[in-house]
Structure 1
């Protein structure tokens, strides 16, 4: 669901789109661009296909805004994006605004109650890139590294290893549909990247 349709379904006005587009076009972004937001909106729409129109609109708005503020500061970025979304949802009922905020905040730890179907759609879609073809995944990994260029190589390597180990230690996707579509490739991609980073450690044998 695109931005105008989602906002209209929630009774709001789509006036914030130029500002949203501008934020996603910031020059320091490499992966967390409007292309990523559009992909999350697309994949979350597929995963939320069985929900009602209002719920699908809420998921769509959360997808478009979940990374609207992005300065490579995990946690702070998501909280700032939730604030941005609240300010942008002119005319939207408070209950829907709160739901959008909650969904964006759920992306901080990628966790939510098991029966939260809206969160499942958003969180699984946000991780779809992990199950992309190998070359596309490699492009994502390089782009994220460029976004975190402020960190020296050794700091990035150890941080990335911790992130990859964390993802491989848990079930990545909440829904059966997402697991069927992306889980196998995601495990292979994450494992391959983790192996490469471990080999770059000075004490690797």
Structure 2
């Protein structure tokens, strides 16, 4: 079993195309790349990091079906505009776009996994959901420099909010995450990422609560 490294910064110019799993669907791949090419945290760098984390989980012994999980990673934030139904619209895009490219069961599974990223609460026996959720939240266990970049990028996504409103909303999100019995669901991710992620959450929450009182 290969050793799993902590999450590291992606390349300055991330290119996720090496992880595209459908040989005859380059047009869809390019459409998704264009959708992810945006400012803020939910950008091409995030997509590339999620795909890399899935490789790490796979190498470290987390068993999951790669095709639906990789496709779900590509679609999970393909629609992202700060509205609450972004995951649902991303899932609907996957259902439309993948029809005829993969079998119906895979289409349904990809859409299910995309919708799961709204809560990051997979069932313990949901291997695919656990892997995708862990890869998506691995940013929480980043080193201090990358974590600060992540927080700043999230703030840019909500530039329309004043600082106090953003701080209150961000604190609510982090409290929700911190209340989970475990942030990560696969054994390799819990072993390597749980402790640093909890530390990052606590530190950011302390800063936010000092602001919001």
Same fold (TM over 0.5): yes
Aligned to 2:195: 184
Aligned to 1:20: 32
Partner Cα separation in structure 2 for residue 119 and residue 169 of structure 1: 19
Give the one of 138, 153, 167 matched to 1:157: 167
Partner Cα separation in structure 2 for residue 164 and residue 96 of structure 1: 32
TM-score (normalised: structure 1): 0.87
Aligned to 2:178: 168
Q: Is the 8 A contact 1:45 1:60 kept in 2?
A: no
Partner Cα separation in structure 2 for residue 32 and residue 166 of structure 1: 20
Partner Cα separation in structure 2 for residue 169 and residue 22 of structure 1: 35
Unmatched segments (≥5 aa) in structure 1: none
Aligned to 2:87: 78
TM-score (normalised: structure 2): 0.84
Once the two structures are overlaid, the 10-residue window that deviates more, 104-113 or 120-129, is 104-113
Unmatched segments (≥5 aa) in structure 2: 1-16
Q: Is the 8 A contact 1:67 1:81 kept in 2?
A: yes
Give the one of 115, 118, 132 matched to 1:122: 132
Matches for 1:49-60 after TM superposition, within 5 Å: 49=59, 51=63, 55-60=65-70
Partner Cα separation in structure 2 for residue 135 and residue 116 of structure 1: 32
CA drift at 1:15? 2.4
CA RMSD, 1 decimal: 1.7
Give the one of 77, 93, 96 matched to 2:103: 93
Partner Cα separation in structure 2 for residue 198 and residue 46 of structure 1: 34
